[in-house]
Structure 1
Amino acid sequence: MGADGAAGATTGVGGTVALTVVNALLVTMVDGQEPFRGWMTVGEDGTIIGIGAGDLPVELPSAGQGGDASEVAGSASGGSILDAGGAIVAPGFISAHSHLFMSGLRGLGVGETLYGWLAENMAVLAGAGVEDLYWFTLHGSLDFAANGITSAFNFTQSRVIWEYDQHANKALPGRIHPVDFVTRQVDAGADAGIRVMSAIRLDDEAFDEAQVLDTFAQVASYTDAKVPAALNLGTAVFGAVQWAGSARTAALEAELMRRHGVINQAHFVETAEVIEQQRAKFAWYDEAGALGPRFLFGHFVHPSDEMIEKAAAAGAGMVWQPTSNGRLGSGIADIPRLRAAGIRIGVGLDDQSCTDISDPFQNMRIGIYTLRALHTDAKVLMPREMLRMHTLGSAEVLGVDDQIGSLEVGKQADFLVVDPREPDTGPIWDVYATYVFACGLRNLKRVYVGGRPVHDASRPPSELVTAASAELHARVAHAAREAGVTTGPLVF
């Protein structure tokens, strides 16, 4: 079907309508469903309770009445109406790999690859305290929301500010913070109103095993108790074997995965620097029994053939950061090769310090264009495939595709209003091509999480956004001074 119709456009479920979206070009990202012009209804709990092609039915059936594919339970007379005016309505982007606390560190390490860039960032963070990390993370989370990223896998900054020497394969602990250094970052994501899965690094080279296990349990319990259930995508292990000095780290991570039933995303073979040393550590995860459907490789730019075969056989996934990999000169992840092996792929924005603009549209284009150039093949990755990886594919690798990633009944109403006419991108020949290739942040008009607006481009910044900006500038400058960094940020 084309833009004027939808195969199996969807049935409805019971519930009171809180928001009705009409006159939309719906890009649902449901597999097998093409874009169509239609409507969507959202319940009071923030989930989609109906979606269909054409005009909104005048009479909507009540719960239990049944009906055809364009019907929904509830009443459109309640709640508010959003007339999309013919604009594209699509799922919010999911960043399956993010470091939200680094929002104030753009412009550091501009000529450095991974380890040099990281050292410059950590030098500033060495002067930051608990409340600083709250505001840093809040700014990063609000920045994500304003750019259409409604859910994030967030690698929290751990209690330890590490100094890593890749040549000596040695990590030295610097300043050590209390547990609330981490939990305040959890608070920030929730206060920004986006969905977050919080990853916790074990820091086992600074603490004994009992402390490691206790810290993880504390943060996980805090997250479940303090974050609204709808915004809490859970906790995860921040895989850190890339920087570890022994296989003990892999064993502890595997233990926590089993104990808490959580996923583990590990930065791995991101850069070509000391690559044989990095690849050798793959065996640590393999021997610890960590590999499996709940294990994700972050970056995975330089894997060996054996690593790909074993990861695929175990059912492991991978998260791709095309913008970050280009910015840091890390290399090009050969996504077609990984997909052909059977590895599931998600996409992340990484952090503002190595993507500079948290722009998912830019991220998609850099990814597609880089792979097409690498393979000298314009069909190696198509727009819909790229968009799927940055939405439903990311939800799948994180294990939350029952909640987010596509617009369908029963899922959270996380969606964007993107207008390719403002500014005008020309006639639409292919909806996916226009959305992925021609649209950008300038076309992003509104962002909704659970049917509630978190960004409106037509309105001035909220008080929270204004406060986060002011706090970020002041606190980053203070942290730099506290850390003894001789050149600080410009003050405007």
Structure 2
Amino acid sequence: MKLLLTDAVIIPMADGTDWFRGWLSVADDGTVAALEAGEPPAEVLAEAKADGAEVIDAAGAFVAPGFISAHSHIFTGGMRGMTPGEPLYGWVGEQSTFIAGADVDDIYWFTLHGCLDFLGNGVTSVYNFTDSRVVGKYDPDTDTREIYSIRPEAYLTRQLDAARDAGIRTMNAIRVDTEFQPAAEAFEVFDRAIAHLKSEVPAELDLGASVFGAVQWSATAQAARDEVTAMDAHGIGNQAHFLETSEALEQQREKFQWYEEAGALRPGFLFGHFVHPDEYMARTAAEKGAGMVWQPTSNGRLGSGVADIPLYRELGMPIGVGLDDQSCTDVADPFQNMRIGAYTQRAVNKDAAVVMPREMIRMHTLGSAEALGAHVAERVGSLEVGKFADLLLVDPSAPDTGPVWDVYAHYAFACGLRNLKKVFVGGELVSSEGVSAHPLAAEASRELHARVREVAARSEERSRERLAW
């Protein structure tokens, strides 16, 4: 045994269970060994003592599964506050201009810092869209992308390394960049990235690979067919940014047919955002087994709209929740994300019960794991014997949030990062009182601040060079 938590209000989030006050133990392999109501038996206490396990008296604090962000771009932590009044395409354009100046070492430190930020805020598993090697900028007015250069392959693999080095469980999404280089070469790069994951990332941290769906930004239907080729070759899913914004809406909707005709719509295919589909798209996606991932804070920040969660729930679509970019959520705060999500749904639907607290928590934990696949949900997303002990200690009394009338409502609506005391991944402490336990945390912060300035300067110089052309 490595960890024993006692006198905790445990919120397992496993279906068919309710919260209870009791204890939880973590085995040496980082999985939940036992969780039960009441006080731990004498033999459990004796085992903890014999093994030298850490014993924590939670004193009535909440213990819940770590949050899962099922849609994230982790390299963006140095871009908070960027374009504060722009919708999606203006924001993407500014971000693309900045990141064009990043090199292999920059993207490693940006990603590492972002991962540690997520962990410090209670996000223990993440779907991460890696930044593409392709340097360019999309123009929504002409539906074209100007390409400036293609960075070394290490630009991609070092992002995978950074997530590994941070110790966060990750599903890594990789673009199939066949539009910008010979198709055979693009597929070979994709294949090598998958091989890198398998050889360089420990199995316990690797939640699998995924295609980074990019048809929204593509010029031809061949892009959808190429993504399906990669999906089939590796037996993996795909998450596509789609119908996020009301900008160029008909243009986006036209490309839905590309995915449909390519055979992409299936279990394991996810629409990131999916704010503006018409009825045919929503029903077709659901009938084919596709799901969606909802980004409440990001959609509000960029003025993108409000996803029709009650409809998707009615259609039986898997629904995950993500924190998206640090640069378009500004604070990667899952508690805030839950509140914004539930409250906007209630306001739009004029129904205070349309999304209840337990359902909101579930979507940001077990629901997100299920959306990413059964192989993910059997490992993370809830506190159950045999699953990884990725858990949070959240104290509603420090600072005091008052009496607890309803455990789920209090956890989802009254608690926040100020109440998040400890974060564990596999029973190992990774953050305490908002301070990372990672040995590279201080260095990651220094590197981020220094490198953002350097990248911005290089990006500005490259912009001037392009104007000179």
Give TM class, smaller chain. Answer: over 0.9
1:429-448 matches, cutoff 5 A:
429-448=405-424
Q: Which residue of 1 aligns with 2:243?
A: 269
CA distance, structure 1, for counterparts of residue 290 and residue 102 of structure 2: 35
Matched position secondary structure for 1:24: strand
Other structure's SS at 2:304 match: coil
Aligned length: 460
Deviations 1:401-455 (A, max 9, x none): 0000000001000000000000001000100010000000000000000110110
Distance in 2, Cα, partners of 1:249 & 1:228: 31
Question: C-alpha distance in 1, partners of 2:461/2:330?
Answer: 21
Question: Which residue, 424, 433, 452 being the options, matches 1:457?
Answer: 433
1:80 Cα deviation after fit: 2.1
Alignment match of 2:301 (pick from 327, 332, 353)? 327
Does the aligned pair in 2 maintain the 1:126–1:175 contact within 8 Å?
A: no
Correspondence for 1:469: 445
Q: d(CA) in 2 for partners of 1:149 and 1:462?
A: 15
- Cα deviation digits, residues 335-362 of structure 1 (max 9, x gap): 0011111111000000100000000000
Using the alignment, how far apart are the partners of 2:214 and 2:393 within structure 1? Answer: 37
Kept after mapping to 2: 8 A contact 1:124/1:485: no
How far did 1:466 drift?
1.0
* Residues 1:166 and 2:140 aligned together: yes
The answer for unaligned runs of 5 or more in structure 1 is 1-16, 61-71, 488-492
- Where does residue 356 of structure 2 map in the other structure? 382
Instruction: Give the SS at the match of 2:400.
Output: coil
Counterpart Cα distance in 1 of 2:184 and 2:87: 35
Contact 1:49 1:73 in 2 (8 A): no
Among candidates 22, 28, 48, match of residue 6 of structure 2: 22
Aligned to 1:490: none
Q: Tell me: CA distance 1:461–1:58, structure 2 relative to 1, closer, same or farther (3 Å).
A: closer
Between the aligned residues of both structures, percent identity stands at 57
1:311 is aligned to 2:295: no
Residue 467 (structure 2) aligns with: none
| Residue 94 (structure 2) aligns with | 120
1:137 and 1:381 mapped to 2: Cα distance?
33
Q: Which residue of 2 aligns with 1:402?
A: 378
For residue 366 of structure 2, what is the amino acid of its counterpart? L
Structure 1 residues 413-424: aligned runs within 5 Å: 413-424=389-400
- In structure 1, what is the Cα distance between the partners aligned to 2:169 and 2:46? 27
User: Structure 2 counterpart of 1:425, which letter?
Assistant: T
Give 1:463 shift.
4.3
Q: Which residue of 2 aligns with 1:300?
A: 274
Structure 2 residue runs of 5 or longer lacking an equivalent are: 464-469
RMSD of aligned residue pairs (Cα, Å): 1.6
How far apart, CA to CA, are the structure 2 residues paired with 1:199 and 1:217? 12
What is the aligned counterpart of 2:255 among 260, 275, 281?
Answer: 281
Question: Structure 1 residue 174: deviation in Å?
Answer: 2.1
Distance of 2:330 and 2:123 partners within structure 1? 15
Q: For the residues of structure 2 that align with 1:76 and 1:374, how far apart are their CA atoms?
A: 53
Q: Could you tell me which residue of structure 2 aligns to residue 34 of structure 1? A: 18
| Structure 2 counterpart of 1:84, one-letter code | A
Alignment TM-score, normalising by the size of structure 1: 0.91
Change (3 A) 1:477 1:133: same
Cα deviation for residue 59 of structure 1 reads: 2.2
Cα deviation digits, residues 26-63 of structure 1 (max 9, x gap): 00001121110111111111111111110001125xxx
- After superposition, the Cα gap between the structure-2 partners of 1:98 and 1:442, relative to the gap in structure 1 and judged at 3 Å, is same
Give the stretch that moved more between structures: 79-88 or 249-258: 79-88
Residue 406 of structure 1 aligns to a residue in which SS? coil
Name the CA distance, whole Å, in 2 between partners of 1:458 and 1:297.
Answer: 32
Residue 410 and residue 76 in structure 1: after superposition, are their counterparts in 2 closer, same or farther (change >3 A)?
A: farther
d(CA) in 2 for partners of 1:223, 1:376: 46
1:317-350 deviation digits (Å, cap 9, x = unpaired): 1000000000001011010011111111000000
Q: Give the stretch that moved more between structures: 435-444 or 190-199.
A: 190-199
Matched position secondary structure for 1:45: coil
Q: CA deviation at 1:176?
A: 1.2
In structure 2, the partner of 1:246 is 220
The CA distance in 2 between the partners of 1:456 and 1:262, in whole Å, is 35
Q: Detail structure 1 runs of 4+ shifted over 3 Å in the superposition.
A: 72-77, 458-463
Match of 2:114 in 1: 140
Listed as ranges, the matches of 1:20-169 within 5 Å are 20-60=4-44, 77-78=50-51, 79-169=53-143
How many Å separate the matches in 1 of 2:26 and 2:437? 25
Normalising by structure 2, report the TM-score.
Answer: 0.96
Amino acid at match of 1:466: A
